[in-house]
Amino acid sequence: MNHPEWIAILDYGSQVTQLIARRIREQKVYCEIIRFDTSAEELKKRAPKGIILSGGPCSVPDEDSPKCDPALFDLGIPILGICYGMQLTAHTLGGSVKPGLKREYGKAMMTITKDSPLFKGLAPDLQVWMSHGDKVETMPEGFEAVAESDNCPYATMQNLDRNIFGVQFHPEVVHTPQGKEMLWNFAFKVCKCSGDWEMSKFVEDTIRQIRKQVGENHVLLGLSGGVDSSVVAALLHKAIGTQLHCVYVDNGLMRYRETEEIEDLFGRAFGIDLHVAHAGDLFLGKLKGVSDPEQKRKIIGSTFIDVFAEKARGLSDKVKFLGQGTLYPDVIESVSPIGGPSATIKSHHNVGGLPDDLQFDLVEPLRELFKDEVREVGRELGLPSYVVDRQPFPGPGLAVRIIGDITPERIEVLQQADLRVREEIMKMTNHLDVWQYFAVLLPIQTVGVMGDDRTYESVVAVRAVESRDGMTADWYKLPYEVMDSISNRIINEVPGVNRVCYDISSKPPSTIEWE
């Protein structure tokens, strides 16, 4: 989709390049992460309001390090180089970059020594986050130093005549507290953006685009009930109405009453043509006696495709397109010093690997968006909060939260325990601060006393984490009274459980899910 106002981010392999895009979009300015070697000619055609050169792990003076098209600097478009991007700017324009006497990593204090539009409205002494081994030794002609730190005399440089800036630190990370303001200054003071990237406008534009792409053809969508597929379903339905057909596979491993909720919302309230495959017995039959987590995943994945494909064949005479909930992080083209250029599109777990007789063109209306933006679109489309704010849920469902054998009885125990975890945490006024919370059924039994009787029953572990993106996570410090009510309710209301534990491990080294 073409946007009249956007900022281009050239990716040089930094682990936090996506954060630059997040920070720019938070200012209601559209941006895209594109290849590091995108030509000046291509950029001139697409006419961004500004260009950002990201950080990266390589060393600019190395012969094989990723470089930009030098003609970028002659386009007259404002440029901001971040860390590696600043060094690349200096190197390309005739300055020099050398290894520093010591690697600088972590918080540093920086002093602004000259006026700059980047720092408008900010105090002269600022905390910033450094992460570099090399640094600019001599600036290119026409540049001046704007800020310095103890270890870095050129912490920021600028050429105001050419609107080119370089910062040695990372303004996109939270450890640079005023970084957001610096990026705001670049977008609005330097690039003169107006900030018109609104979700309501995105919805209107996307609906037009879907209608143009699909025409009078029909679309098939694998609906999982998660945020992405639910928002895709609502968006496609608004765009093409009865030309949309959704298939939902109930594998018998969903949360309590989840299938009924999906049928009520999408089938009845939205009036979508929803085909539900009640396949719990099939899945459980194939999983009988299987306790290895990878084996569980493979069985569930292949069985899912078989069931989905069978439903799809019944609709294939009128369907030409397959809807997918692909998000922006799945399609970003990136360069890494290890693997070289890569452009990977991750298949949605619901539909990856369809048989050859079911090949469709793809409709991916969310491929420009990050997860938080998808939630905004969902609200714009009128989806209820229990769908929009739904936590991530693994593709294999409760199978990877039941450690050991999967039986109908153990599924029911976990569904009931998980329901009580969710009900108690959702009573907290700040429950949206918790990234994910759920119960895990362990493959052990412990001695307990209920009434005057000795019991020997199952153990449930409770997992709650806080995270920004799921890549790293800390265990969430639930209030004791919430832990108390969760434990009491599970032990007293869920037959077969006599002990509740709380998981206090972080990711890494642990993962969020147990399997």
Active site residues: 83, 170, 172
DSSP code at position 27: T
Whole-angstrom distance, CA of residue 322 vs CA of residue 327: 15
Q: Beta-carbon neighbour count of residue 272 at 10 Å?
A: 21
227 annotated as ligand-binding: yes
CB atoms within 10 A of CB 386: 10
d(CA 384, CA 373): 16
Q: How many CB atoms lie within 10 A of CB 96?
A: 14
Question: Does the annotation list 229 as a binding residue?
Answer: yes
The residue whose two tokens read 């938070």 is 26
Residue 456: what are its φ and ψ, rounded to 5°?
-140, 90
Q: CA–CA distance from 462 to each of 86, 118, 141, 270, 409 (Å)?
A: 46, 46, 60, 34, 19
Three-state DSSP state, 171: coil
Closest C-alpha to 395, from 315, 293, 466: 293
Residue 224 marked in a binding site: yes
State yes or no: 225 annotated in a binding site. yes
Question: Is 247 exposed, middle or buried, given 0-12, 13-18 or 19+ CB atoms closer than 10 A?
Answer: buried
Query: Within its chain, how far is the Cα of 169 from the centroid?
Result: 24
Report DSSP state, residue 402: B
Q: What angle do CA 363, 365, 371 make, to 5 degrees?
A: 130
54 known ligand binder: no
- Tell whether 336 is in a known binding site: no
The total of other beta-carbon atoms located within 10 Å of residue 262's CB is 23
Check if the beta carbon of residue 377 is closer than 8 Å to that of residue 231.
Answer: yes
421 a known binding residue? no
Amino acid at 230: S
**293 with 400: CB under 8 angstroms?**
yes
The binding site comprises: 224-230
The binding site for ATP comprises: 224-230
